[in-house]
Amino acid sequence: MKNLISIILIIGFYAFPCSDLLDTDVKVLNEKQFRNLCEYKDHTILVVNTASKCGFTYQYEQLESLQRRFKDKKFTVLGFPSRNFLGQEFNDEEKVSEFCKSTFDVTFPLFSIANVQNSTKHPFYRKLFKLTLERPSWNFHKYLITPKGEIKSFSHRIDPEDDSIVSAIQDSISL
């Protein structure tokens, strides 16, 4: 009996490990459903606060390019539209979704409009801010989260296909 309990505990530990950071339910953009980010626990994740009406909006194209390039290697981009910086995002989630799909053919997951500043009540960003000192100072700030839980932060000024980001993704997915 003791051996059976030990086996169950070991299987449970390896079958269901998920960091506290990812063990978060977030609302899917323009839908009523929520998604638990543990779905991505074995992935290298690039978290980005996005905006549809920003000088950096062109980065959607590069984010989508990364998504398509590395998606079969357990990589995904997670987009969190935000109105924090000069309100450069639509108020309406349907408009955000339509813009992303029609303008950039975005296939990576997008979540509901989020507050990404220090005072946030957003459960994922609140947890993220406990783990890193870096905060978005503008739209398109990026956090690369490895399956081991390591977090690297990249300024909005660094394009998604910059060598520093691509190298970090490649290093993570090759482990």
Residues taking part in catalysis: 54
β-strands 75-81, 44-50 pairing: parallel
Q: Which residues contact 46 (CB under 8 A, 6 or more apart)?
A: 63, 66, 75, 76, 77, 78, 142, 143, 144, 145, 160, 165, 169
For residues 71 and 126, give the distance between their C-alpha atoms in angstroms, rounded to a whole number: 27
Phi, psi of 50, deg, nearest 5: -110, 170
Both structure tokens of 145: 């989260």
Closest CA to 82 of 23, 125, 130: 125
Nearest to 54 by CA among 157, 159, 139, 142: 139
